Amino acid sequence: MSSSTATQDFVPKTRVGKVTDYVDSRVGGSSLVKEFGRKIFPDHWTFMFGEVALYTFVILLISGTFLTFFYDPSMAETEYDGSYLPLRGVEMSVAYASTLDISFDVRGGLFMRQVHHWAALLFVAAVAVHMLRVFFTGAFRKPREFNWIIGCVLLILSLAAGFTGYSLPDDLLSGNGLRIIDGVMKAIPVIGTYLSFFLFGGEFPGTAIVGRLYVLHILLVPAVILLMIGLHLFLVVLHKHSQYPGPGRTNTNVVGYPVGPVYAAKAGGFFFIVFGVLAAIAAAFTINPIWNYGPYDPSPVSAGTQPDWYIGWVDGALRLMPGTLGNFDLEFMIPFPWGTNALSLNVLIPALVPAIILFTLMFAWPWIEGWVTKDTREHHLLDRPRNAPTRTAIGVAGVVFYCVMWAAASSDLIATHFMVSLNDVTYWLRALVIIGPILGFMVSRRISLALQRKDREIALHGRETGRIVRLPHGEFIEVHEPVDDYKLYTLTSFDSPRVSQPTPDENGKVSRLDKVHGRLSRFFFEDRVAPVRPSELAASHDDHHDEVAGTKDRESIASR
């Protein structure tokens, strides 16, 4: 360690200096600070959703720890005798009673519960938005494919954390959620009932499930999330942060601020901002008023029973699925040597198929795109979404597919609040879940291409100023103001891959895989707006010199 010899020569003079030196010569923190403190992070608001997710997770750990002091995950029956009058004397589980006690009899308990629950909603939302940002800017490309996978795992884990937590109060709402999980599990042929009995420790609801979910919720799931966050951040530091394209930004540098001191202070401050926003929301707005729902009882299902937003799309898919298609029954009885087993496709298809489609595409996407583009370069410069029209369009299609199912989870509230028929809402959403993604794909690809054309137009001919000038010979022209070089760089410097045709091998044959690749490549890159070439730029300035503003005009425009 060459740096340690340097520190030995250093003799601290102040008391703080002495203490710091004492610690540093034993811990060696300064080299770490030196290395990490000089790490550069680019500044852009879209880069901060990962931070929001991290901070909300910390808030979840803190508020969750408080809740564990008072929560009792027992399904033993008890008679409530706490402060909430409309439930006093009602038979309920100890878990529900202790959650009521947290809400009404523990000082600050309701506030902490609401902080915890609002933070959970924001956590998953931040994870989702962060992933969308990474997807649409192409930040998952080499070398960040594994980090994308870790992110996908984190998304699934956050759903698991959310759902296990949602079920803990053992109120009517959460019990209905568990009943749906139980139903989906039992729809799996042959092993379904065994799985359900295994999870619930017997027939639903049993007396074991809350305790089991509690262990998952406070131990296993957060531990794995922490591990994954560690890996995720390690890879971020290893890869260095990606950045948006711009003048001076290349694949080999990062333009931004070092962690120490400004960025660290900003990030630290941002934690408190997120905490403050959540605390303000929790203080002013009710979330999950379990006292309304009452204790879980398998018989009643209240109107307005929905899962938290992140599970909503699965609930929505279940709501959209017809039980039968005309006279065609979607339930099959299949005879086996040991008896007849039911295959309930009307449950299995909505519960599993959309999730399988979305998650498979999500996990595989970096390799799907990598195979289509045959691009093996490292990418540290992000794409503007418009410059990757097909990826953007596929992303939008996925978002629309998700959002239609998500909306379907609130079909009853759409019906009551917009005074329309619940059945019509369902029919429309059924159509939209198929048509919507296709429309979304086409529209967003067209918009991306149109924006690229607009960029090209601006790069070549400048910005329309709206100033109409009459020339001496009578012609009217609109004055175009050329964009400055910085803007021009952003508008013109991007990759625009071309269709790669399959090439025959020495026997003159094209393999089937190559044909598929050719077709996909055409699908991805056939519609293409070529970036402006320097020669075009030069030519446009020569040809249209009377269209662009003269030097004097330019000066006068610039001075305004």
Nearer to other proteins, 272 or 523 (CB): 272
Closest alpha carbon to 168 in 102, 122, 80: 102
Among 18, 34, 88, 454, binds other proteins (CB under 8 A): 88
For other proteins, the binding residue among 2, 15, 26, 86 (CB under 8 A) is 86
* Given 44, 240, 467, 487, the residue binding other proteins (CB under 8 A): 44
Instruction: Report the nearest approach of other proteins to the CB of residue 57 (Å).
Output: 14
- What sign results for the dihedral spanned by CA atoms 101, 105, 107, 109? positive
Q: Which is nearer to other proteins, 110 or 459 (CB)?
A: 110
Applying CB under 8 A, does 248 fall inside the site for other proteins?
A: no
H or E stretch covering 352: helix 345-373
| Closer to other proteins by Cβ: residue 318 or 393 | 318
Which pairs with CB-CB distance under 8 Å and at least 24 residues apart come from 549-552? 549/462, 549/465, 549/479, 549/480, 549/481, 549/482
Q: Which stretches of 409-478 are DSSP H helices? A: 411-417, 422-461
Report in angstroms how near the CB of residue 551 gets to other proteins at its nearest: 27
Binding mask 184-223 for other proteins (x = CB under 8 A): ----------------------------------------
Nearest-approach distance from CB 411 to other proteins, in angstroms: 8
The answer to whether 297 contacts other proteins (rule: CB under 8 A) is yes
Q: Which of 3, 8, 251, 302 binds other proteins (CB under 8 A)?
A: 302
Reduced to 3 states, what is the DSSP secondary structure of residue 535?
helix
Q: How far is the CB of 288 from other proteins (least distance, A)?
A: 7
**Three-state DSSP class for residue 330:** coil
Kindly state the smallest distance separating residue 422's Cβ from other proteins, in Å: 5
The span from the CA of 431 to the CA of 454, in Å, is 33
Closest Cα partner for 192 from 410, 390, 348, 365? 348
Instruction: Indicate whether 235 belongs to the interface with other proteins (CB under 8 A).
Output: no
Q: How many CA atoms lie within 13 A of 172 on its CB side?
A: 15
- Shortest CA distance to 136 belongs to which of 443, 446, 523, 397? 397
- Integer CA distances (angstroms), 338 to 126, 190, 203, 482, in order: 49, 10, 21, 79
| Residue span 253-292 as binding mask against other proteins, x where in contact by CB under 8 A, dash where not | -------------x--xx--xx--xx--xxxxxxxxx-xx
Instruction: Say whether residue 159 binds other proteins (CB under 8 A).
Output: no
| By CB under 8 A, residue 14 contacts other proteins | no
**Region of 14-22, 117-125, 205-213, 451-459 interacting with other proteins (CB under 8 A):** 117-125
Please name the residue that has the structure tokens 């295994």.
198
Helix intervals (H) in 90-240: 94-104, 109-136, 145-166, 172-187, 192-200, 209-215, 221-239
Which of 312, 366, 389, 482 forms a contact with other proteins (CB under 8 A)? 312
3-class DSSP assignment, residue 493 = coil
**Per rule CB under 8 A, is residue 324 in the interface with other proteins?**
no
The contacts of residue 495 (CB under 8 Å, 6+ apart) are 383, 387
Under a CB-based contact definition with an 8 Å cutoff, are residues 296 and 100 in contact? Answer: no
**What is d(CA 23, CA 33) in angstroms, rounded to the nearest whole number?**
14
Q: In whole angstroms, how close is the CB of 129 to other proteins at the nearest point?
A: 7
CB of 418 to other proteins, least distance (A): 11
Residues contacting 197, CB < 8 A, separation 6+:
203
- Nearest approach in angstroms of CB 280 to other proteins is 9
Minimum CB separation of residue 425 from other proteins in Å reads 9
Instruction: Find out whether 362 and 356 touch, Cβ atoms under 8 Å.
Output: no
CA max distance for the chain: 96
Please say which residue, 80 or 365, places its beta carbon nearer to other proteins. Answer: 80
Among 43, 331, 464, 546, binds other proteins (CB under 8 A): 43
CB closer to other proteins out of 306 and 540: 306
| Candidate list 293, 365, 401, 525; residue touching other proteins; CB under 8 A | 293
The whole-angstrom separation of Cα 313 and Cα 321 is: 12
Q: Which tokens is 497 given?
A: 């891959």
Q: Which is nearer to other proteins, 431 or 442 (CB)?
A: 431
Residue in 63, 93, 103, 167 binding other proteins, rule: CB under 8 A: 103
Assess 132 for contact with other proteins (CB under 8 A): no
Which of these segments, 85-93, 339-347, 380-388, 480-488, binds other proteins (CB under 8 A)? Answer: 85-93
DSSP state of 263: I
Considering only CA atoms, which of 341, 375, 345, 540 is closest in space to residue 458?
Answer: 540
For other proteins, give the closer residue by CB, 126 or 347: 126
Site residues (CB under 8 A) for other proteins, limited to 385-424: 409-413, 415-416, 419-424
The single residue among 122, 168, 382, 529 that binds other proteins, judged by CB under 8 A, is 122
Location of structure tokens 């289509």: 372
Residues in contact with other proteins, counted by CB under 8 A, come to a total of 73
- Residue 129 near other proteins by CB under 8 A: yes
